[in-house]
C-alpha cells in the first residue's frame, strides 16, 4: 500500500522572516528578564531560585525536577531555557514530604 503524502507542512518546519532589530529587541528583553529573575539586587525577584541552585540545595538531579514539574507537584517559571522556582514552592514541596516524629 502506498502511504498517503501530505502537502501540509509541520509547523516546526515553517520559516519566518523577522527583522534583525526585532530579534535583537527580543534577546535584550529576554536577558533583562533573566537578570531580574536571578536576583540582581531586586527584592521582588529574589524569592526565585534557578534550578542549579535548587539542585545543589536538595541534592537532586535534573530528571527529578522534570518529573516533579510534569506530575504537577512543583510550579516553575521558564525563561529562555532556564527554569526558576519560587522559594515558597520549594519549601511547600519539602514540607509535603515531612514525616512527623512520634513520642515513645
Quick: pLDDT tens for 60-99.
999 999 999 999 989 999 888 889 999 899 988 888 877 7
pLDDT for res 52: 92
Instruction: Residue 35: count other Cβ atoms within 10 Å of its Cβ.
Output: 13
DSSP string, the chain: -PPPPP-SPPGGG------HHHHHHHHHHHHHHHHHHTTTT-GGGTTEEEHHHHHHHHT--HHHHHHHHHTTSS--EEETTEEEEEHHHHHHHHHHT-------
- Report the percent of the chain where pLDDT is more than 90: 24
Q: What is the pLDDT of residue 8?
A: 58
pLDDT for the residue numbered 98: 76
Predicted confidence (pLDDT) at residue 32 exceeds the cutoff of 60: yes
35 or 28: whose pLDDT is higher?
A: 28
pLDDT recorded at residue 18:
86
**Domain spans, the chain:** 18-96
Q: Retrieve residue 20's grid coordinates.
A: 534583525
Mean pLDDT of 27-50: 74
The residue that leads in pLDDT, 42 or 75, is 75
Amino acid at each position: 500500500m502506498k502511504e498517503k503524502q501530505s502537502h501540509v507542512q509541520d509547523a516546526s518546519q515553517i520559516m519566518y522572516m523577522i527583522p534583525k532589530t526585532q530579534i535583537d529587541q527580543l534577546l535584550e528583553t529576554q536577558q533583562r528578564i533573566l537578570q531580574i529573575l536571578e536576583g540582581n539586587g531586586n527584592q521582588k525577584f529574589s524569592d526565585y531560585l534557578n534550578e542549579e541552585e535548587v539542585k545543589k540545595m536538595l541534592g537532586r538531579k535534573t530528571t527529578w525536577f522534570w518529573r516533579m514539574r510534569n506530575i504537577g507537584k512543583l510550579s516553575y517559571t521558564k525563561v529562555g531555557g532556564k527554569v526558576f522556582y519560587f522559594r515558597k514552592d520549594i519549601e511547600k514541596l519539602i514540607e509535603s514530604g515531612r514525616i512527623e516524629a512520634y513520642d515513645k
